[in-house]
Every structure is written in C-alpha cells, then in structure tokens.
Amino acid sequence: MKLGKVEFCHFLQIIALFLCLSGMNQAELSRSRSKPYFQSGRPRTKRSWVWNQFFVLEEYMGTDPLYVGKLHSDVDKGDGSIKYILSGEGASSIFIIDENTGDIHATKRLDREEQAYYTLRAQALDRLTNKPVEPESEFVIKIQDINDNEPKFLDGPYTAGVPEMSPVGTSVVQVTATDADDPTYGNSARVVYSILQGQPYFSVEPKTGIIKTALPNMDREAKDQYLLVIQAKDMVGQNGGLSGTTSVTVTLTDVNDNPPRFPRRSYQYNVPESLPVASVVARIKAADADVGPNAEMEYKIVDGDGLGVFKISVDKDTQEGIITIQKELDFEAKTSYTLRIEAANKHIDPRFQSLGPFSDMTTVKIIVEDVDEPPVFTSRLYSMVVSEAAKVGTIIGTVAAHDPDVLSSPVRYSIDRNTDLERYFNIDANSGVITTAKSLDRETNAVHNITVLAMESQNPAQIGRGYVAITILDINDNAPEFAMDYETTVCENAQPGQVIQKISAVDKDDPPSGHQFYFSLTAEAANNHNFTLQDNKDNTASVLTRRNGFRRQEQSVFYLPIFIVDSGSPSLSSTNTLTIRVCDCDADGIAQTCNAEAYILPAGLSTGALIAILACVLTLLVLVLLIVTMKRRKKEPLIFDEERDIRENIVRYDDEGGGEEDTEAFDMAALRNLNIIRDTKTRRDVTPEIQFLSRPTFKSIPDNVIFREFIWERLKEADVDPCAPPYDSLQTYAFEGNGSVAESLSSLDSISSNSDQNYDYLSDWGPRFKRLADMYGTGPDSLYS
C-alpha cells in the first residue's frame, strides 16, 4: 500500500516522536541508598519510587495496544511476589497494566481534542497478602497532539454589505477560523487566510481575516453582489497543512450617486371638462437608478398658467408625480394649460455633488375637452318662505339655471316628486317660478325641502339639480286646548277655596313672542255654586271649590266648562270641559273610592260579580237571537215572491205530488188567466252580479184569444187522456202565437220575406259562412234561386 506525500510526512513525524519519548516513558522505582531512619515506636522509611510524566501520541492506528510506560518498585525482586494495579481515569477501559511487569498500554485510539490528559493512580501490592508494599501514588498521562484537525469557519457562510463607490481598503467584514489542534505545540493551530475567489475586487489580510475592497468606484447599478471564497490553512500555510474554506456574499449598498431624469422633455394629456375636483389627470415619473431613500422624489409645479388649477403630489410607493385637479375645469373659459414641473431627490449626498444636479425639469400640457354639461343653477340652495295662509297658486319664489355649454340650450324646470310626495308645490317649466298647489299647514310640516330638476330642451338626459328649502310661516289658526286629559277629583269633605286641580294649555301654533293663555269659566258656569277658576297669569289656572262638602249620593260627577283664549292676532279660543268626580278620601286627602253606585248596591254582591252576571245574560240573549235567525232563514223561499208560484215545484226536487185530490200545490187560475202580471223573480240563494239587458216586462197583458184557446184545448185533451200526467204537474208548450212586439227573430222565415236585404257579402266571409251564403245569396248557385 503506497502512502501519499502528506501521509508519509505524518508517518515520519509520528515515528520520530515515538523514538524520542520512549526513554522518557520509563518510570522506575529506585531504592534509596541512605540508611533507614528510625524513630521510637514504629520505624519510618523514605518513599522508594519516583514518578515522571507519561506521553502518548493521539490517533494511534496500530492493531496492537500502544505502549505507554512502565511502573517498577525497588521492593520488586523479580520473583513475582509483587503485583501492580492501576485506578483512575480510563483505567481498565483505556489503559491496562501488566500486574507482573508494570507495563502500561493504551487499548483504544486517543484524541487529544476530546481529552488532553488522564489522571491515574498506581500501587504495588504483595501478591500473597494483597497488602500494599508502597504507598499509592498519582501520575498523569498526557496525549501528544498531531495535526489532525483542519481550520473551520464556525460562523460561515458570511454575508456583508459595503457602500458602492467606496475607496480601496474599505473594511467589509472579518472572518475567523478555529483549529482544534493544540496551539501550544508546533504550528498545527496557526492559521493564515487567503482569497480563492473574488479578486480583483476584494482582498483579505492573512493574519486577521479582514476582507477589504481592492478596487475603487464599484458601481451598484453595474453589479450589486459578489461571491467570495476565503481559505484558512494551518501550519502557517506551509505545505502539508490542513485547510478549510467559507463563502462570503458581499452586497454593494446604494448611495445617491444618480440624479433623477425625465424620459421626455414634454408631455401632453387630454381631460374632459366634467372631470371632478381631486381627480387624477396624469402620472409622470423621473427615472432614478438609485433605490430606497436615495430614489425618493419631490415634485413641484414651478411655472405655468395652471398653478392654481392643478397640483402635483408624490406617490410614495412608486415615486410618481400625480397631477390632480384643484378647481373645476371649464372648456368655455379655458381650453388648455401648460405646467413646468421639477423633480428633485429628497436626500442628496454631498460626496457626489459633482455628479449633479440632482433635479430635472419637464413640460406638461393639459388639453381641456368639451362635454355636454347639465344645466347649472345660480345657487346650490334656495331659501324661500311662505305663509301657511297662502292661497293655492301663490308665488313663493323663482329658481334659475342655465346651460353652461357654448350652444346654451333652453332649460325646462320640474319638481322631483320624490321630494314632494303630497304635491304641495308647482313650478313653471319655462320661468322656474314656484307656486303653491295645495293648502299648507305649518303644524304638519314646517319646512319643505324639495329638489328642482333643470333639463336641457335639446338633450333631456342632461339634468341639473337645485335644492329649495321652503319655510312655512305660522299664523294663529289653532285654538288652545288642555295640555292633557285631566282626571280631577274632589273630596266629599273638601273645604271652600281648596285647590283641586291645576291646569295648563297647549297650542299647535308657534308665535314669535311665545304663548300667552287666558283662562276663565264660560258664562253659563260663571255663577255655579260648586267651583271657581283662578287664572295664575303664567299660562296655568287653578280650579277651586266654592262650597263646603260634596255628597256622592246627590251628584257624583261635575262638568266644568273652561274657556281658554290665546294671544294671537286674531285670537282664538276654545271651551274645554273638565270632569270632576266626587270621591271618598282618607285623612290625607287621597281619594279612596269615587263610585256613587257603591251606596245603592246590595251588600252581598260586589261590582265584579254584577258585571259577570250581566255578561252571562247578554251571551244567552245573543245565542237565542242567533238560533231564531237561522231557523227563520231556513224557512224563507229561494225566490222573492209573496205568493207561491207554480215554478217553485221545479226548485223542490224532493217534493212529490199528492195526486188528483191535492188541489193546494198551486193555483190553477194561473194557467187559465193570461193577464196575470209577472215580474222578474230574484233568487235568495244567488247574489246577482251583472244585470243584463232584457226585454221589458209588460205590466198589463192584453186578452189574447189565441193563447186562451190554446190552453183550453190542451186542458180538454188532458182531461180525456188516460195517459196524461198528474193534475199537479207542470206542462210546458213551445207556442209563440201569431206575432210579438219585436216581430219574429227567427231566420227561418227570412227566405220567404220580401225584404230588400242583400246577403251577397256572406260569400266573402270564408268557408264557415258558405252554408248561409248559399241559403240567402242571390247568385246562380243559390239554394232557392
């Protein structure tokens, strides 16, 4: 098996170090040549072995145990009477001792980076008695280092940043590699740094690992990121040393070294004149290769005829200049605007002033386009007043609107009825004069807010809106009345002059100077002996008793008419009746009971019991009336007729005749007398819906001999005919007689008439009328030609 150059060098170093230290690894026990030192009592001798440190190489790769050293005592004569034992760190597991010779071996591969030394204790024992012949002694086995660990960058990979355009030698970042080998022995842990990738832009100091810039004026806009590979090598970089690498990503951070520049020297935009205020007209942007705060812009309008009409602001996200409208545009007033706009960086780096100026200018021209605008009112809000006493048609005020376009189309006015649902107002479509359409009532609605629409005559789709607030002025048209429904009581033991009620009044009107009410008793009540009224002059009045004591048995309720007058012009008045009940009161004057009936009711029944009895009686009466009504309704005939008509036999399907002896089923005189007046009968069980036109009913029928003879002949035939139906049956005969007032309506007799009517038009009505055309036509194919 061949060894490489590096492995061969390591092998030679291990052999040389092993040979040099083999003599040092002998620990012998030397007997003292001096005489024993005796003391009274027990004799004491000097320790008879001396220790040295043991050394052993790490990373031993052999198959046999590695010899470490030898223990020997002067007491040992070589006859096998002494045995050696070992204790402490790694005893028996890593280190073993030959109990006869004292030789120490390592049975496992050792790594100094895991443990640099081991502390053990050795002792010589008498093999027979197993007692120590020497005191226990401690020694150390040190692990000898070899270069078996490469340098490592524990914090890698690294990222760092450095400003663009930095001068040569600017520090970027420091990298550090560590070597686990023993720094106190040889050069195994002495590391030097070098750069494998990243030249010629960056360099690294060999001893410190500090990375620095190596080229000036590195531009972020050209290249913003670099990848470096740094190597750390031990043995001071000599051949045979071990090495490790790491990567360093260096990003060039931005500085403000690029001024803003507009891509174009001028811009032009078209906007309609109807564009609302605060709308965006255009967005412009000056290009800046920088990023972040170094690319932040400020835009301003420095010149032009649109300084007060437009403004420009910056979009912080995109750094665009946003041009918006400050005032409404009017094509008829001005058709175009020109703006001079400047863009400048907000944050300027003095180091790069020579690359400036850090601002730029451009021209923006805005063309205003004409649009068909709706009519515009002269005022956005009209305020008008009208008295609620105004008559219908009273002029309230006038609104005016005009078409702002060049054509100036005529304007027509109307009221948005959604704002005037009750149609209180009208407006003249041409003049804009608003008038009353109905009587007004301030108490119902004190202010009417209506919307007036103005539309172009040539283009009704263009509608302008004006707003009118109509305030209704008050007049004294409401009389005062009680402020509430008073429940006034007076005690039976009331004294004269006692106040039993304080009343006030309200008025729906709203006079400018406020209400003033005057209270008094009506003329018929002014001289009553029971109560009097006192006006308190503060829109209230007090009701006082005039006599001593009241009795419910005599009169339980008093009605006091009170006359109230307001202060309007003209003044209005009303009479309000105050109901006063006489009550039984306790000692504090609090009413207990006010029912006069309590004195006349039996002692055994309460008011509630009487009410319950009365309710039961009323319920029984209602049930009886209902039953009677239903029975009477069942007996009523279905046809309104005072006399029984023979035709009711047709309605009663379940009635059977009584034979020839039954002469009460109907009146036979009705068949023999044709002069009976027959009115139209109305069914009771059918509700008439539509009254159709019918032939008039004649109240008097002339004596018709033909009909009488016809009936008598049929009666005679029925009398002699044994198969005739019963006497009470109804016979119907289809006999028209010789004529009628309206003459014959049948078409069968028309063919024999001498009428001059021409029926040839029936041939033009199609195949459905062919039969009639053949019967009545005059053509050659006519049926009766």
Local structure of residue 698 (DSSP, 8 states): P
Strands 359-369 and 266-272: parallel
Do 168 and 214 touch, CB atoms closer than 8 A? Answer: yes
Do 343 and 262 touch, CB atoms closer than 8 A? Answer: yes
Q: Report which residue type is found at 205.
A: E
Annotate 10-48 with b (16+ C-beta within 10 A) or e (fewer): beeebeeebeeeeeebebebeeeeeeeeeeeeeeeeeeb
Distance CA 521, CA 533 (A): 7
Whether the predicted pLDDT of 495 surpasses 70: yes
Q: For 94-144, what is each residue's pLDDT tens digit?
A: 888 888 888 888 888 888 778 888 888 888 888 888 888 888 888 888 887
Q: Coil, strand or helix: which one is 713?
A: helix
Whether the predicted pLDDT of 558 surpasses 80: yes
Question: Given this model, what pLDDT does residue 53 score?
Answer: 73
Q: For 622-676, what is each residue's pLDDT tens digit?
A: 999 989 888 877 655 544 444 445 444 454 545 555 555 555 554 555 444 444 4
Q: For 541-553, what is each residue's pLDDT tens digit?
A: 999 999 888 888 8
Strands (E), 356-480: 359-369, 376-377, 381-387, 395-398, 401-402, 411-415, 425-427, 433-436, 447-456, 463-473
pLDDT interval class at 778 (50, 70, 90):
low
Residue of higher predicted confidence among 405 and 523: 523
Distance CA 624, CA 631 (A): 11
Poorest-confidence range of 146-150, 265-269, 651-655? 651-655
Whether the predicted pLDDT of 15 surpasses 70: no
Q: Coil, strand or helix: which one is 436?
A: strand
Strands (E), 127-265: 137-144, 158-163, 171-174, 192-197, 202-204, 210-213, 225-233, 243-253
Whether the predicted pLDDT of 27 surpasses 90: no
Q: For 399-449, what is each residue's pLDDT tens digit?
A: 999 988 777 889 999 999 999 999 999 999 999 999 999 999 988 899 999
Prior bond of 460 cis (ω within 30°): no
Which tokens belong to 784? 């009766």
Whether the predicted pLDDT of 326 surpasses 80: yes
Distance CA 187, CA 191 (A): 8
- Write the CA distances from 203 to 197, 200, 230, integer angstroms: 10, 7, 9
Whether the model clears a pTM of 0.75, i.e. scores above it, the answer is: no
For 4-15, what is the mean pLDDT? Answer: 48
Q: Which residues contact 342 (CB under 8 A, 6 or more apart)?
A: 299, 300, 302, 359, 360, 361
Local structure of residue 373 (DSSP, 8 states): P
Q: For 277-319, what is each residue's pLDDT tens digit?
A: 999 999 999 999 889 898 999 999 999 998 889 999 999 999 9
Question: Given this model, what pLDDT does residue 6 score?
Answer: 41
